[in-house]
Each structure stands twice: as structure tokens, then as C-alpha cells.
């Protein structure tokens, strides 16, 4: 899922996102709540209509962003009081108000309000945080069930149905992750996310926690790993059984001139590209690689042209989406021809 924080994937128009094959976008509740405001989006017919996006949208609960405002927030049983990074004004998110905000925005998939446990944290702190997330998950679900039909409009797909996903926490502790998964499943959601990772822990630990948490999540429901990763990592996680991922990396890196290609990472700002007439990635079919040279992309970046950000982002998104298309293709081939049971069948 490309990240469209403020109802926009920075620098890329919606028709190009469609052309790239984007099926679902992520929007950030915290940012949309502050600007332009949930009520404004709701009055304009919801996020799909407002941003003219006919495909699926997922909104986060706002929890992760609020928790990253370390100096600007206060957590209680009831919820989180925080100060806006824009103007310092004071706001309050609870499981109930986070549900109201996401119901008002109208995304297809919305997320339970959770506490993202910081890293590092001791076991006592990880447990307390996990317990709080479980109580908030129950409150999120209850409020969602009571109010989900109050949306007066229908999204582009012609349905106002929203799905609320639960989030597994538990820090870096395998036992707590197991308990969090089991008790979140007990509450019951149509999909489950693994939260609280990519918060500064070493990558091997991320993988270990993902792997051990996945064992306890149902395989017949979407399993969503929040906030990862590099092209290599998303293939690895898909291989472990993750179905959904989101990351700002392809778009944020693009704006800093860091491009992912089939031949590895390229920093387009480097002088060695100044006279290079070759495409950015000879194996990429995107509109940027089909049309422009590395020399031109380097010139745009060095000259601080807006077009540099646009073209770099289009390519990086294309590379990520191609990567996931290849993953899906190999999964479908595996099902038809490459599954272990087919391979191990004795010859007649």
C-alpha cells in the first residue's frame, strides 16, 4: 500500500496511481483529522470522493502518529491527549473518537486504536501496554459496531461497508505476542495487523517477532504488517505469510533521490549519472524508464525541479508494485505447479 498521508501520494496524480496498478492506498487519520478535518471530508462525501480515488483505502487509527509525538502527548486509560504538530493546539483521541474519525473519513479498512509500545521497553511495560491495547481493541470494536451504519454516503465502489482490523502488540516478547494474538482473535476481527515493529529494533528481531506472531494468526484472514520495508524485506515477509504491508520508504526515498532498481539502489544525485543516457532501470517498464535518461533525472534533481520528485516517485512505486506482482505471480504458480505436495507426488 503506497502511503497517501494527507489524501495524496506526494507528487503523483490519481490517474497515474491507477495506471501503476495501485489497488489500495493508506491515509493517516491523525493528519487528516488536523487538516482538512474529518467533518470537512465527511461533508464532501468521504475520502474516496474527496480525493477522487475509485479503489480501496485503508486509514490507520492515528495511534502510531500520536505516539511518535513523544513530548506532546499524555496517555491515560481513557485515551491520549496530544498537541498538534501544526499549531500546538490540544486534542484528544480515544478508541471511540478514533472510530468516529475513521467512520467519518469512510475508508474501506479502518484500524483499531492501539498503543504502539516503544523500543526498548522492559517486560512489565510491554505487558501493561499490551493489556491497554486489548482493552482499547474491545472499546474500538464495540463503538464501531454501534456506529458503522451511520455513514450517510457510499464510496466509489458503491458500498459504505467498512471493515475494522485488530492490531497485535506485545513488544519484542514472543510470549506476549502470542497472548496478544490469541486475545485479539477472541475479540474477533475480519483482519489482523502486527503493530509495534519498525520502531528502532534491529531487523533480525523484527523478522523473529513477525515469524512468531504469524504462527498465532489465522491464515484465512488478511494479515497486515504495519510500516515495512525495503524491496528485499517485503518479499521476505510475503514469503513468511504476510498479505498486506505499507511503507513510506518508496515515496520518501524518491523525494531524496534514492531509487530502487533491479540492479540495486541508485542515488540519482551522484555526478556519475550526469552524462548517462541509459534509462534508470533497463528492466523497468514504467513511464519514467521508458522515456527519460539517468542524465535527465540527475539534472532535474540537481536543479531542484518539482518534476524530479514526481518522476522519482512514479518509478519507485512502480518498482515496489512490480515486486509485489512478481510475489503474487509466484504464489499462484506455486499453487498450480510448485506446491510441495505436487512435487512430492510419486511418479506413476
Which active-site residues does the annotation give?
60, 246
**Contact stretch for Zn ion (CB under 5 A) within 144-152, 183-191, 242-250, 307-315:** 307-315
243 alpha carbon, distance to own chain's centre: 12
- Taking alpha carbons only, the member of 36, 24, 177, 228 closest to residue 110 is 24
Smallest gap, in angstroms, from Cβ of residue 314 to Zn ion? 7
Give whichever of 284 and 308 is closer to Zn ion, judged by the CB atom.
284
Should residue 20 be labelled a site residue for Zn ion when binding is judged by CB under 5 A?
Answer: no
Cis (ω within 30 of 0) for the bond into 25?
no
From the CA atom positions of the chain, what is the Rg in Å?
21
Interface residue with Zn ion, options 22, 109, 249, 286 (CB under 5 A): 286
Give whichever of 206 and 261 is closer to Zn ion, judged by the CB atom.
261
Give whichever of 105 and 308 is closer to Zn ion, judged by the CB atom.
308
Smallest gap, in angstroms, from Cβ of residue 286 to Zn ion? 3
CA gap 85, 74 in Å, rounded: 14
CA gap 258, 262 in Å, rounded: 13
Residue 167 bridge partners (DSSP): 193
CA distances from 202 to 151, 206, 258 (A): 42, 7, 22
Smallest gap, in angstroms, from Cβ of residue 313 to Zn ion? 11
Give whichever of 46 and 279 is closer to Zn ion, judged by the CB atom.
279
Give whichever of 16 and 284 is closer to Zn ion, judged by the CB atom.
284
Site string for Zn ion, 141-160 (x = CB under 5 A): --------------------
Interface residue with Zn ion, options 114, 315, 321, 322 (CB under 5 A): 315
Interface residue with Zn ion, options 112, 244, 289, 317 (CB under 5 A): 289
CB atoms within 10 A of CB 194: 26
Say which DSSP state 95 is in: H
CA gap 20, 321 in Å, rounded: 8
Angle between helices 123-147 and 174-187 (to 10 degrees): 20
Interface residue with Zn ion, options 238, 284, 308, 317 (CB under 5 A): 284
CA gap 320, 286 in Å, rounded: 11
Smallest gap, in angstroms, from Cβ of residue 217 to Zn ion? 34
**Contact stretch for Zn ion (CB under 5 A) within 23-31, 91-99, 121-129, 279-287:** 279-287
**Contact stretch for Zn ion (CB under 5 A) within 9-17, 100-108, 213-221, 278-286:** 278-286
Give whichever of 38 and 308 is closer to Zn ion, judged by the CB atom.
308
Phi, psi of 211 (to 5 degrees): -60, -45
Smallest gap, in angstroms, from Cβ of residue 277 to Zn ion? 16
CA gap 78, 93 in Å, rounded: 9
Positions that interact with Zn ion (CB under 5 A): 284, 286, 288-289, 315
Amino acid at each position: 500500500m503506497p502511503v497517501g498521508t494527507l489524501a495524496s501520494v506526494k507528487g503523483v496524480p490519481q490517474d497515474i496511481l491507477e495506471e501503476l496498478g495501485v489497488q489500495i492506498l493508506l491515509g493517516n487519520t491523525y493528519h487528516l483529522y488536523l487538516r482538512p478535518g474529518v467533518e470537512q471530508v465527511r461533508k464532501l462525501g468521504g475520502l474516496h470522493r474527496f480525493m477522487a480515488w475509485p479503489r480501496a483505502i485503508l486509514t490507520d487509527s492515528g495511534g502510531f502518529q500520536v505516539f511518535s509525538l513523544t513530548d506532546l502527548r499524555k496517555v491515560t486509560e481513557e485515551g491520549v491527549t496530544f498537541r498538534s504538530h501544526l499549531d500546538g493546539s490540544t486534542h484528544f483521541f480515544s478508541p471511540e473518537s478514533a472510530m468516529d474519525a475513521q467512520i467519518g473519513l469512510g475508508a474501506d479498512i479502518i484500524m483499531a486504536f492501539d498503543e504502539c509500545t516503544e523500543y526498548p521497553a522492559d517486560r512489565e511495560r510491554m505487558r501493561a501496554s499490551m493489556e491497554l491495547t486489548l482493552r482499547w481493541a474491545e472499546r474500538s470494536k464495540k463503538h464501531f459496531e454501534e456506529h458503522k451504519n451511520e455513514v450517510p454516503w457510499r464510496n466509489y465502489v458503491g458500498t459504505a461497508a467498512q471493515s475494522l482490523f485488530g492490531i497485535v502488540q506485545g513488544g519484542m516478547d514472543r510470549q506476549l505476542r502470542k497472548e496478544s494474538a490469541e486475545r485479539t482473535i477472541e475479540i474477533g476481527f475480519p483482519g489482523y495487523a502486527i503493530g509495534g515493529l519498525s520502531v528502532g529494533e534491529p531487523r533480525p528481531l523484527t523478522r523473529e517477532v513477525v515469524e512468531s506472531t504469524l504462527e498465532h494468526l489465522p491464515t484465512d484472514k488478511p494479515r497486515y504488517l504495519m510500516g515495512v520495508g525495503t524491496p528485499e524485506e517485503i518479499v521476505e515477509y510475503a514469503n513468511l505469510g504476510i498479505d498486506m504491508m505499507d511503507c513510506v520508504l518508496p515515496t520518501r526515498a524518491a523525494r531524496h533521490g534514492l531509487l530502487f532498481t533491479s540492479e540495486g539502489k541508485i542515488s540519482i544525485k551522484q555526478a556519475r549519472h550526469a552524462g548517462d543516457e541509459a534509462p534508470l532501470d533497463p528492466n523497468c517498464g514504467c513511464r519514467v524508464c521508458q522515456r527519460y535518461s539517468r542524465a535527465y533525472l540527475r539534472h532535474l534533481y540537481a536543479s531542484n525541479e518539482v518534476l524530479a520528485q514526481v518522476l522519482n516517485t512514479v518509478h519507485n512505486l512502480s518498482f515496489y508494485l512490480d515486486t509485489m506482482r512478481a510475489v503474487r505471480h509466484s504464489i499462484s504458480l506455486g499453487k498450480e505447479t510448485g506446491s510441495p505436495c505436487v512435487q512430492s507426488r510419486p511418479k506413476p
